[in-house]
């Protein structure tokens, strides 16, 4: 059985020693993200995010479906985030580890439960036909901080996606072929983005965007999800050492500036996306 082996003692010790002097193993500053690359398209809703060596692919798709009986005027948003052995040796899609479950749950909370997608705008014929939008997140390479990379990929893909246009004529709904009529973007309420902090040592050493080694050594982590309106959409501090109230405040302030930068990068990426040839 392939088991992910943690870092050696000297790697862990070195990461801490360096951090105590304010430097990180990969040469970054403690408040720096790794290099972020967002590639959109050419197909609408296909986005690959590269955060350092971490890679996540997001794919948004849709199909016509029947609405749930208790919500006849709302579209359906389905979500799928599963870690496979592509991302790192030892990941097994059959038996997810607690870490994998945590990542998938956080992303789902960020994108789906924060109601970023306008579900009512996905209704075609009340009680009969609605759009079912699917977000598939494929983790391609795990080099730390999957959550932030996945949240950026998911929200960019939703903004980049276009669904076929529909005309409703009485009881009939005509779904237009993308070649006949230009597809339309989804109605997105807001763009929640995760910013993750790792805490090392006794919790006094904080880093933004922890690398794989930092994740393996950290004693606690904290993820804050914010949108461009400076609203908090989700918070997660699952276990680990207790943190000071002040540290959380500091994280929130930092996250606000980070989210602003990330939002700009997302908008830029969508603007410079390769156009679909079809």
Partner 1 sequence: MQRPDRREANQIRSLHCMLGQLSRVDGSAQFSSGKTSVLCGVYGPIDVKVYDEKLDRAHIEVKFRPDIGVPTTKDKWVESAVRSTFEKEVLAQLHPRTLVQINLQVRENDGSVDATAINATTMALVDAGVPMKTTVAAAACVVLKDGSIVADPTKEEAELAVSTHTFAFANGSSDGPLYVDSRGRFSMAEYNRCYDLCRLTCDRILAFMRTALESKIQKESAISAV
Partner 2 sequence: MAAAETTTPGQLSFAIETFERIHPTEFQRRFLSQGTRHDGRGFAQFRPTHIVRSTISTAQGSATVRIGNTTVVCGIKAEVSEPDVSTPKAGYLVTNVELSPMCSARFRPGAPSEQAQVASEHISRLFQSAIDVESLGIEEGRACWVLYADIVCIKHDGNVLDAAIVALQAALRDLQLPKVEFDAVSGVVSADKSKMQPLEVEALYPTTLSVLDGNYLVADADDAEEQMAASSVLVVLTDSAVANIWKRGALVERKLVEKCVAMAEARKQELATLLN
Partner 3 sequence: MADTKVVIPGDVIDTTIHMETGDGDDSVVRLGPGLTQINDSVTSISAGVLHSNPETHQHWVVSNKRRYVPAEGEPVVGVVTARHGEGYRVDIGSAHDALLPLLAFEGATKRNKPNLAVGTVVYGRVVVANPVMDPEIECYNSNTGKAEGYGELSSGFVFQCSLGLARRLMDAQAPVLNALGDEVPFEAAVGLNGRVWVHAETPAATILVTNAIRNSEFLDARQTKQMVKELLARQ
> Which residues from 120-139 bind partner 2, rule CB under 8 A?
129
| Torsion sign (Cα): 269, 272, 274, 277 | positive
Q: From the CB of residue 219, how many other CB atoms can be counted at a distance below 10 Å?
A: 16
Q: How far apart are alpha carbons 155 and 220 in whole angstroms? A: 26
Q: How far apart are alpha carbons 154 and 60 in whole angstroms? A: 8
Q: Which of 253, 255, 250, 247 is nearest to 220 (CA)?
A: 247
* 65 contacts partner 2 (rule: CB under 8 A): yes
CB of 86 to partner 1, least distance (A): 4
* 175 contacts partner 1 (rule: CB under 8 A): no
- For 108, left (φ over 0), alpha (ψ -120 to 50), or beta? alpha
> Which residues from 3-32 bind partner 1, rule CB under 8 A?
none
CB of 205 to partner 3, least distance (A): 13
CB of 89 to partner 3, least distance (A): 10
Q: How far apart are alpha carbons 107 and 102 in whole angstroms? A: 9
* 250 contacts partner 2 (rule: CB under 8 A): no
> Using CB distances below 5 to 8 A depending on partner kind, what does residue 64 bind out of partner 3, partner 1, partner 2, none?
partner 2
For binding to partner 1 (CB under 8 A), which residues are involved? 1-2, 42-43, 46, 48, 53, 55, 57, 59, 61, 80, 82, 84-89, 93, 134, 136, 138, 140-143, 277
For binding to partner 3 (CB under 8 A), which residues are involved? 5-14, 17-18, 21, 23, 25-27
């Amino acid at each position: 059985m392939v088991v992910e082996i943690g870092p050696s003692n000297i790697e862990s010790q070195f990461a801490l020693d360096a951090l105590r002097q304010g430097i990180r193993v990969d040469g970054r500053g403690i408040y720096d993200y790794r290099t972020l690359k967002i590639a959109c398209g050419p197909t609408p809703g296909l986005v690959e995010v590269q955060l350092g060596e971490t890679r996540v692919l997001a794919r948004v798709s849709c199909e016509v479906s029947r609405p749930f009986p208790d919500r006849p005027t709302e579209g359906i948003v389905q979500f799928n985030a599963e870690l496979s052995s592509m991302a790192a040796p030892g990941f097994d899609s059959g038996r997810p580890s607690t870490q994998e479950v945590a990542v998938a749950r956080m992303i789902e909370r960020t994108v789906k439960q924060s109601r970023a997608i306008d579900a009512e705008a996905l209704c075609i014929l009340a009680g009969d036909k609605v759009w079912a939008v699917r977000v598939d997140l494929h983790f391609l390479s795990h080099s730390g901080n999957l959550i932030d990379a996945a949240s950026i990929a998911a929200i960019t893909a939703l903004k980049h996606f276009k669904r076929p246009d529909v005309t409703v004529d009485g009881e009939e709904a005509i779904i237009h072929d993308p070649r006949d009529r230009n597809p339309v973007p989804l109605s997105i309420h807001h763009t929640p983005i995760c910013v993750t902090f790792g805490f090392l040592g006794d919790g006094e050493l904080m880093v933004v965007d922890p690398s794989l080694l930092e994740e393996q050594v950290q004693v606690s982590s904290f993820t804050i999800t914010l949108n461009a309106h400076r609203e908090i959409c989700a918070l997660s501090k699952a276990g680990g050492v207790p943190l000071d109230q002040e540290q959380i405040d500091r994280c929130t302030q930092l996250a606000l500036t980070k989210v602003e930068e990330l939002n700009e990068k997302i908008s830029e990426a969508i603007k410079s996306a390769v156009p679909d040839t079809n």
